[in-house]
Structure 1
Amino acid sequence: MNDRVDESPRSDSRDALRSAASELRMATFRLARRLRSQRAVDTMSDGQFAVLAALTMHGEHTLGQLAERERVTAPSMNRTVSLLEEAGYVSRTPDEDDRRKVTIALTDAGRLVVDETVRRRDAWLEQALADLSGHERQTLAAAAEIMRKVADT
């Protein structure tokens, strides 16, 4: 039996790829965490904001559609929507044809929260980018395009 570790160039390449993947994952999570901390309502959870953002981007949804979009159970989404409704960020409207269905829509207050959170996140990131060199900003712009490509696979 051969107990030697594969020291071929292919093994080195896999190790380098694994290391690069780990570094990218950690940097991406850290940046995402910093961006998420920039919010208009400090007490709002990431899940609650995700619902407001989904309604902003995709319009009205039923509870089931929101649960599916956010990959949570319907009871969990119902709790999230209830909290958002109590805060005045969303409204529920019963379906005229099927009273069991309810449409969830963003209110003006909810739209303001999304707009202000996006503004704060963009401002934070703009300031962070301003502290970098032109070459570093170009590198990040190229990396953003590559990251979108990876995310779309």
Structure 2
Amino acid sequence: MRISRRVRFESTDEIAPHQFSVLSRLEDGPLTPRALADIEKVSAPSMTRTVGCLVDDGLVERHDDPDDGRRILVELTAAGRDFLMTVRRQRGRWMSERVSELTSEEQAVLVAASEILGRIAAR
């Protein structure tokens, strides 16, 4: 968890980690602010503020739901998709630089540990 947190904070200072998380959630398609709030385990007003900031930054846009005009959908913009890719590249580079400083034995331990953790996560 500490590594995950460190990667999140080291790789970008352009947006907050919770905003990046919302962008990631939208990668598979548009969602309502309520659905985003439920997924992220935050209040609807908090998600409304987060979405508003992302709209202001041009990373997402709001649309009327074509199936229900009372609902709003939030969708990634092209700039939002580009931003996700850029941050992920930065995170990968940050981690690669740290791992490359390890000995080959330490790197082998990480490979073995990642396989074990992968099996645990798959259960």
Is TM-score (shorter-chain normalized) higher than 0.5?
yes
Per-residue CA deviations over 1:48-85 (Å, capped at 9, x if unaligned) read 010011112x3211111111111111111111001100
Give the 5 Å matches for 1:14-29: 28-29=1-2
**2:49 partner amino acid:** R
Give the 5 Å matches for 1:72-151: 72-151=42-121
Q: Is the aligned partner of 1:45 residue 2:6?
A: no
Which 4+ residue blocks in structure 1 deviate beyond 2 angstroms?
A: 37-40, 145-153
The alignment-based identity, stated in percent, is 37
Query: Contact between 1:60 and 1:105, CA under 8 Å: does it hold in 2?
Result: yes
What is the distance in 2 between the residues matched to 1:71 and 1:149?
Answer: 26
Name the TM-score, length of structure 2 as normaliser.
Answer: 0.89
Question: Which consecutive residues of structure 2, in runs of 5 or more, have no partner in the other structure?
Answer: none
Q: Which has the higher strand share?
A: 2
1:96 positional shift: 2.3
Question: Which consecutive residues of structure 1, in runs of 5 or more, have no partner in the other structure?
Answer: 1-27
Q: Is the aligned partner of 1:32 residue 2:8?
A: no
1:152 positional shift: 5.0
CA RMSD of aligned residues (A): 1.6
